[in-house]
Amino acid sequence: MDFMKRAAQVAAVFALMTLNAQAQQSEAALVEAAKKEGRVAYYTSYVAPQLHEAVKKAFERKYGIPVDLLNVRASELEERIRTEQAAGRFTGDVIQHGQASITRLSRAGTIQPYGDVPNAANMIEGQPADGVQTGSLITAYAITVNTDLVKPDEEPKSWRDLLNPKWKDKILSDDMRALGGGFAMFSAIMQEPTLGEAFHRELAKQNIVFTRDVGQSERRVARGEYPIWIPQISVNVLGLKGLPVRVIVPKEGVAYVRLDQAMLKNAPHPNAARLFMNYYLSEENQMLVGSTGLVPVVRNVAEKIPKEQRVMEGATLMGTILVETQQKYLNLASEIYK
């Protein structure tokens, strides 16, 4: 029995070594083909210039392949792609865009299957790649409170705690009636069975104050203008150190937005595109992503990020914006939060 067990272990080790060797050969062939194409054009609507520059430089340093980076707003990106493809000018290779938006673009024929991207097999639970689009990073949304105005025993441990009468007229919120973090929160709550539409109708009675100036909202709470800010985006949490605020992960979980990547139709540099997509899902790059307050989308990465850089660690991903319900929920948010 011991001999058979040992033989099975040896066979498993050899099988793993074979797979690793095949993977190395496959990546080597991909790198060679990508280098022959000479460059890769990367289009993204995620406004994070420092992150994109860091990824661009790391990829170029590793593979010697230049990255042509286009970082614009979502509406500008989609118009750029529409114009280029309508004119038969296919210049973009890889797109990074919201999950629901890429799903919509895929259905419109703007995206093509990406082929062999080995690291796409390593996605975290609940976020699988499908051969057409795959996650690249996740932004999560929770609750921030002013610690001078909200005592520890008063802190909202649940989204439902925001309904406490003491918070009436005292909650600052990103506008849920327009695309953005507020709408991601609205959608996630709609998908949570214990909350849903009934919760939103009760929350509307709290006379929450809407804003679209997300960059200043956390500071307004820190200054004491409001005791509570919703939803708190994970990527901004590291910048709040030293301020009288605390970020709270509700027990039901956090809203999130997944930024996906995909290969554009008729990409002129398909091998370089695959290599770039594969690099984005590498442990090396996902460590970089996670160190900025974003949630890595690849397994066995989050726990390797330095403790002081981990944001919303262990939070349940509650729900996100879905293409099937996007317009319906936008209409409902406008009806509830008048």
pLDDT tens digits for 14-66? 444 444 444 455 788 899 999 999 999 999 999 888 999 999 999 999 999 99
Q: Return d(Cα 14, Cα 11) in angstroms, integer.
A: 5
Query: What digits encode the pLDDT tens for the residues 199-252?
Result: 999 999 999 999 988 778 999 999 999 999 999 999 899 999 999 999 999 999
- Yes or no: domain 21-138+257-309 corresponds to CATH 3.90.1560.10: no
With CA atoms as reference, report the closest residue to 319 among 122, 120, 185, 172: 185
CA distances 200 to 247, 275, 317, 323, 334, Å, are 21, 44, 19, 20, 11
Per-residue model confidence (pLDDT) at position 314: 84
Q: Return d(Cα 54, Cα 288) in angstroms, integer.
A: 8
With CA atoms as reference, report the closest residue to 197 among 25, 41, 331: 331
Common-topology check for domains 21-138+257-309 and 139-256+318-336: yes
Domain edges within the chain: 21-138+257-309, 139-256+318-336
Superfamily of domain 139-256+318-336: Periplasmic binding protein-like II (3.40.190.10)
Average pLDDT estimate for 275-301: 96
Which tokens go with 179? 């695309």
Query: What digits encode the pLDDT tens for the residues 167-196?
Result: 999 999 999 999 889 999 999 999 999 999
Do residues 272 and 123 touch, judged by C-beta distance below 8 A? no
Which tokens go with 41? 């054009």
- Chain mean pLDDT for the chain: 91
CA distances 265 to 30, 91, 115, Å, are 19, 10, 13
Q: Which H helix or E strand runs over 259? A: strand 254-264
pTM as predicted = 0.85
Q: How confident is the model at residue 4 (pLDDT cuts 50, 70, 90)?
A: low
Pairing of strands 245-248, 228-233: unpaired
Q: Return d(Cα 119, Cα 137) in angstroms, integer.
A: 14
Do residues 228 and 57 touch, judged by C-beta distance below 8 A? no
Q: How confident is the model at residue 8 (pLDDT cuts 50, 70, 90)?
A: low
Do residues 115 and 33 touch, judged by C-beta distance below 8 A? no
Q: pLDDT exceeding 70 applies to what percent of the chain?
A: 93
